[in-house]
Amino acid sequence: MKKPFLLIVLFLVVSSCATITTPWVIDVTSLKSLFQLCESDLEKAKKVIIDKDLVKILSHLQKMDSGGKKYYLLEREAITSMIKSVTEGVYSDFILINRDGTVVYTMTNEKLFAGNVRTTLVKSALASCYDNRDVSPYIVRVPYLPSDAGSYIAVSSKVGGGKSMPGIFVLIIDVKKIQKLIGERSCAIGLDGKYEIAPDQRLINTQYHDFDKIDADGPRDEHAVHRFSRSSGGSAVYRFFIYSNLVWILVSE
């Protein structure tokens, strides 16, 4: 009778140890749901922008009064309310860019207002959104925003329809929200091997230390989970996450 009992105890001990040392496997369901929400919110916001012809109105105001700030600030609160009424409110900012590449509306960041993606903002992620306006949604990491040291993800789409002036609408998401979805033991690596999402934001845009152990050029099966031995000891797992143009390698240690 004692032998089976001892075997059961040994099994439970081994199972417990395996649980402690085995990395948490990332569930991408919540992450995919976030980007699906962004895509849905883009379409809802675009309808408001088109119906109210906001790109044309805001472009006209921007040309007035040395950039139109006096008039623009009076309109911004009403426009923000309209956009918030059709979106889910998980965003740090909304940005609207006209066909000439000029930022004609931003919910929170006045330093971006009247900037142009062809000149003053040419090195920004907004310029990348403008250049890739035919990709919907287009997703890119924002290393920073003026006056803010944080890191963000921009999700954008071209706006156009009817007789309205065309433009680009951009949703800005703080990477901290995405970190919560993938877990504090996980990070997102780009195909260049650099951190794009990390628990320690100081690591963002630096090289992931074990990238050489990841087969980034191999088959990108979103359902496959791969294990590798870490150079510092122990093991980690990774899987691919793909949404529109975005490709991340999600690593859990």
**Degrees, nearest 5: CA angle 224-32-129:** 115
Q: How far apart are CA 11 and CA 231, in angstroms?
A: 29
pLDDT in tens, 40-70: 999 999 999 999 999 998 888 877 765 556 6
Contact 208, 189 (CB under 8 A): yes
pLDDT in tens, 72-129: 677 888 899 999 999 997 899 999 999 999 999 999 988 888 899 999 999 889 999 9
Q: How far apart are CA 179 and CA 185, in angstroms?
A: 9
pLDDT value at residue 48: 94
Query: What residue segments make up the domains of the chain, in order of their start?
Result: 32-176
pLDDT in tens, 143-183: 766 656 678 999 999 999 877 889 999 999 999 999 999 99
Contact 51, 16 (CB under 8 A): no
pLDDT value at residue 152: 92
Alpha-helix residue ranges (DSSP H) falling in the chain: 2-21, 29-51, 54-62, 65-84, 125-131, 175-182
Report which secondary-structure segment, H or E, holds 240: strand 235-243
Asked whether the predicted pLDDT for residue 15 surpasses 60, the reply is no
For the segment(s) 32-176, the CATH number from 3.40.50.300, 3.40.640.10, 3.30.1360.230, 3.30.450.20 is 3.30.450.20
Q: How far apart are CA 44 and CA 85, in angstroms?
A: 10
Residue 101 DSSP class: S
**With pLDDT > 70 as the criterion, what percentage of the chain qualifies?**
85
